[in-house]
Structure 1
């Protein structure tokens, strides 16, 4: 979370530029408000700050009926400008737009747009545009018009720039992606674990999937569906050694496994996942805390979505992220597995 002195100043002055950036809860009434709420100002000692309305609700506060902090339809102009900027960027289908030009179209200064954009979404307008451009590139590659047409249609000045980033963003070269992974080699191993059946899959560059489930055959089918044109086959000794390290970690017999990864992700997802890898074993962080740590204090919901999109369970420990009020929150592989993981990690340290 940001400096509370700064937030309190925003409340006492009802500064409109902070509206949508945080909410505050009043302990005596158990109500949370926008910083611009016209109600009587509370005593500082009884105020708590939250990155999102959801965080305040999870902590047991109710939304104010006067300022309606949970009502997206009544969002302040700053939020509306960011939404408008996102629409402009998305419509350009990857074609570049300068920050100054974007600010002129939505109103306000480039500095404030950049700051508000990053605060709300966790990424800069440029990073958001890059994500949109990547999505456009993927769509064009799937259309089958050729790599060169897709690259230039997505607004890239040269194919070399795309190939430089392709391993991290597409998980393979553009040509391979256009063929549905054709020519890509994906090996996998499935083994029993304390959490049920565990599948670990890898390309020559690193681990690309870690899955948990009750049915080994179903896990294999899911993997093949994700790589429909790749050469998917049982793994080798290297992969067997990797999965053994992961199982030992689940059993509490070894530290967090640090294995090479080969996964596709947006810039924001990588920022979240890197922060998750910093959470010590036996500890947890809330979605709001992760958002604050990556410099996006109002992006708790986006953090939750990044956790849900994590393709390598355990290697990126999204199970260590919980709700602000102490609830476990969701987990792609089941809340019971999340509970077991956390209990096991705490027990190891006891």
Structure 2
């Protein structure tokens, strides 16, 4: 089943606009130019982008500049400091607030998911459709389907390779609430993840959970956080193998040169995720400073 026909035209325009803005940043394209690049009037483009991001396209682009990202990397001296910077008393509080992660046992890893029943469904998100898979023990896969990877069948095949002996069943009615919560977390209702990976991969994924929304870290930060500061290539491989998009936030890892780098679900989606989260974090910071 191809989901190409279900890709949100609005998000496709957002992604194209982000790519156009970044490619032409040095000459500061006008709103009219960007709108024309995505086949919209300036009025409709401004409204579309502001409704999606909560801020103007110009402000959004500032979040993706090298200078801004350099300041954010400097702020993240360690993952513990990044968590503290977000107002959390300890990294473990992030798990309490939003996501908990469970890794399968060594025996379960070897069994390839034998005995597990995996429900899956494709659902709309602010970043286009996503295939979400879950067991009774938690979400085991979340794949974003953008314009470069629109095939649900291919995403499902990747999930099956990670859980080769599990029983898969289409059950969108069961996975829809999880997909909704993944992009609009509810206080006091953390999402549970079940992952199948090597010990090293799981350590990296646990470290990523300590990176707050609106913050970025380098591969060096992650390597130091797991006690293996020289294992940069292995960290990069583990980040790229992340089976649960967004919830295990591998998109928040960038190169120390402040280059965003590649992303398993498309470079435009990585830019969109980072900017979208930074915009939400900025609005939340403003809200907290305004007295009731």
After TM superposition, the score normalised by the length of structure 2 is 0.54
Q: What do residues 181-204 of structure 1 show as CA deviations (whole Å, max 9, x unaligned)?
A: 554311112112222220111122
Residue 287 of structure 2 corresponds to residue 319 of structure 1: no
Structure 1 residue 233 corresponds to structure 2 residue 169:
yes
TM alignment of 1:60-79, pairs within 5 A: none
| Alignment counterpart, residue 104 of structure 2, candidates 153, 163, 167 | 167
Deviations 1:98-141 (A, max 9, x none): xxxxxxxxxxxxxxxxxxxxxxxxxxxxxxxxxxxxxxxxxxxx
Alpha-carbon distance in 2 for matches of 1:324, 1:271: 21
How many angstroms does 1:273 deviate by? 1.4
Q: 2:159 maps to which residue?
A: 223
The answer on whether the counterparts of 2:109 and 2:196 sit within 8 Å (CA) in structure 1 is no
> Any conservation in 2 of the 1:189–1:243 contact (CA below 8 Å)?
no
| Equivalent pair of 1:257/1:315 in contact (CA under 8 Å) | no
Residues in 1 aligned to 2:122 and 2:248: alpha-carbon distance in whole angstroms: 19
Structure 1: runs of 5 or more not aligned: 1-58, 60-164
Q: Which runs of 5+ in 2 are unaligned?
A: 1-69, 71-101, 283-292
* Distance of aligned partners of 1:217 and 1:269 in 2 relative to their CA distance in 1, 3 Å threshold: closer
List aligned pairs for 1:8-87, cutoff 5 A. none
Q: In the TM superposition, what is the alpha-carbon distance from 1:237 to its structure 2 partner?
A: 4.9
- Distance in 2 separating the partners of 1:299 and 1:258: 31
Which residue does 1:210 correspond to in 2? 142
Instruction: Tell whether the 8 Å contact from 1:246 to 1:257 is kept in structure 2 after alignment.
Output: no
Matches within 5 A, 1:132-147: none
Tell me how far apart the structure 2 counterparts of residues 256 and 308 of structure 1 sit (CA, whole Å).
29
Cα displacement (A) at 1:326: 0.2
What's the CA shift for 1:238?
Answer: 4.6
| Contact 1:206–1:262 (Cα < 8 Å) also in 2 | yes
Higher relative contact order (CA 8 A, sep 6+): 2
Alignment of 1:263-342 (within 5 A): 263-342=195-274
Report how many residues are paired. Answer: 178
- Of 183, 193, 198, 1:247 maps to 183
* Matching of residues 72-151 of structure 1 within 5 Å: none
